[in-house]
Amino acid sequence: MDLLNTLVDKGLRRELPTREEALAVLATSDDELLDVVAAAGKVRRQWFGRRVKLNYLVNLKSGLCPEDCSYCSQRLGSKAEILKYTWLRPEEASQAAAAGVAGGAKRVCLVASGRGPTDRDVERVGRTIEAIKEQNEGIEVCACLGLLSDGQAEKLREAGADAYNHNLNTSEATYGQITKTHTYADRVDTVEKAHAAGLSACSGLIAGMGETDEDLVDVVFSLRELDADSVPVNFLIPFEGTPLAKEWNLTPQRCLRILAMARFVCPDVEVRLAGGREVHLRSLQPLALNIVNSIFLGDYLTSEGQAGQADLDMIADAGFEVEGAGTTTLPAHRSDAAAPAGSGCGSGVGASLCGSGAGAASDTDTDAAGCGSACGGCSGHAHAEAAPVAAQPAQAEPGALRSDLVAVRRRGAGTDIAPNA
């Protein structure tokens, strides 16, 4: 297929595809799906081999958010029956993080719901970062606290943060349709602040909110222009009690095409399979490992994922290996470009793939104004006797509520029950 040969050649050269080529990936047929996955896999292996980076979410503060993000279970007015609690103490968060590290996670993602942190919140998170790093040598820490004010990114960096997550979520043209309490430009500004402070930018999207193919291409091109080191791809988890509860627009095949498009546009960037993978990819999750080089281990922010051991088994059975703590995730041309001394994640600042290097990107989920990178609609991390994913129904019908496909987190951070790491 000429399209795929062209995209592979461009990916190996780190050359930006055209918008038409990216759109054509999303328009491929199911008969061509394995060819699309194989082509994206060639690009993935060129830059990341067969390594899979594991990330672990700790929800520092759950629910009660003043922002109105339609996809989020923690939003203002949400009727989703999620866990609600205020800030975890640094020692509690460190203990929660230890479970993920013990399971093989290389990065701990600290997420808090809300529009953005106060300076006191930043100091609290700084103490949490220090506690985690004291207990876990070499671990990366990514903060996801919402919209940042001037000087806050620098304080997080000084406390030891390696990265900051703030997702763009969808295209600029349609952003106002999912959120009214802040703007797309606000999100870009926060990613730029993280970049300027020397933090590695983590910023991604949520698919499945009723967007068009053009919207998906727009947001992924924006993420490349903003030079995000990590691009989490979330798939909407339609929580009952949220405005998007009936948005079941995804099939496993479409999810794979979206991931492949992201890989072709961002060939040498950490493309992370994030929230909603169990719900929407189901038995095709192992195929996605041929495209992405990073996943979350266990549960998410407010919803359950599959068991941590199941994640590890899936990686091994598919012929991949967990990335070790001593391995730099990003290729040398990105990780060496202006990476702060001692940074384990490799900040690609100044190493823009397309040359525009505007510098801003972010994650998804609970973040009403910016929050967890494993979102997809607030895919909270933790567990509670999760139903086996393989036993779930094959496909939800558009316009239907499917609470049987969405399990709310009842264990881990904020509870007395052990996490699912």
The mean pLDDT value of the chain amounts to: 85
pLDDT at 334 over 70: yes
User: What number of CA atoms fall less than 13 Å from residue 369's CA on the CB side?
Assistant: 20
* Residue 215 region by backbone torsions, left for phi larger than 0, else alpha for psi between -120 and 50, else beta: alpha
Q: Cβ distance 105 to 140 under 8 Å? A: no
- State how far the Cα of 356 lies from the Cα of 164, in Å rounded to an integer: 20
pLDDT at residue number 291: 98
Neighbours of 283 (CB within 10 A): 11
pLDDT at residue number 188: 98
Residue 19's H or E segment, with its range, is helix 19-26
For the chain, the domains span 2-405
Coil, strand or helix at 32: helix
pLDDT at residue number 395: 56
pLDDT at residue number 3: 98
Q: Which band of pLDDT confidence, cut at 50, 70 and 90, is reported for residue 400? A: low
pLDDT at 219 over 50: yes
Which tokens hold the place of 377? Answer: 């609609």
Q: How many residues does the chain have?
A: 421
What's the mean pLDDT in 141-170?
97
Q: Which band of pLDDT confidence, cut at 50, 70 and 90, is reported for residue 401? A: low
User: What are the beta bridge partners of residue 57?
Assistant: 109
User: Who wins on pLDDT, 323 or 360?
Assistant: 323
User: Who wins on pLDDT, 85 or 355?
Assistant: 85
Residue 216's H or E segment, with its range, is helix 213-225
pLDDT at residue number 406: 74
- Give the active site residues: 65, 69, 72, 109, 142, 202, 272
Which tokens hold the place of 94? Answer: 């460190």
What's the mean pLDDT in 118-143?
96
Neighbours of 416 (CB within 10 A): 5
Alpha carbon separation from 368 to 201, 288, 322 (Å, rounded)? 18, 28, 31
User: What are the beta bridge partners of residue 176?
Assistant: none
The pTM of the full predicted model, rounded to 2 decimals, is 0.86
pLDDT at 362 over 90: no
User: Who wins on pLDDT, 99 or 348?
Assistant: 99
pLDDT at 383 over 60: no
pLDDT at 399 over 60: no
Q: Which band of pLDDT confidence, cut at 50, 70 and 90, is reported for residue 202? A: very high
pLDDT at 367 over 70: no
List the single range of 177-181, 246-250, 269-273, 405-409 with lowest mean pLDDT: 405-409
pLDDT at 140 over 80: yes
Question: Locate tokens 């910023």: which residue?
Answer: 203
- State how far the Cα of 74 lies from the Cα of 79, in Å rounded to an integer: 9
pLDDT at residue number 402: 62
Answer whether CATH 3.20.20.70 is correct for domain 2-405: yes
User: What number of CA atoms fall less than 13 Å from residue 173's CA on the CB side?
Assistant: 10
User: What are the beta bridge partners of residue 142?
Assistant: 109, 163
Using alpha carbons, select from 75, 44, 55, 85 the residue that is nearest to residue 305. Answer: 55
Q: Which band of pLDDT confidence, cut at 50, 70 and 90, is reported for residue 418? A: confident
pLDDT at residue number 245: 86
Q: pLDDT tens-digit profile of 281-332?
A: 999 999 999 999 999 998 887 777 899 999 999 999 999 999 998 899 999 9
User: Who wins on pLDDT, 63 or 17?
Assistant: 17
Using alpha carbons, select from 232, 401, 225, 403 the residue that is nearest to residue 304. Answer: 403
Neighbours of 51 (CB within 10 A): 17
Angle at 261 between CA 377 and CA 7, to 5 degrees: 170
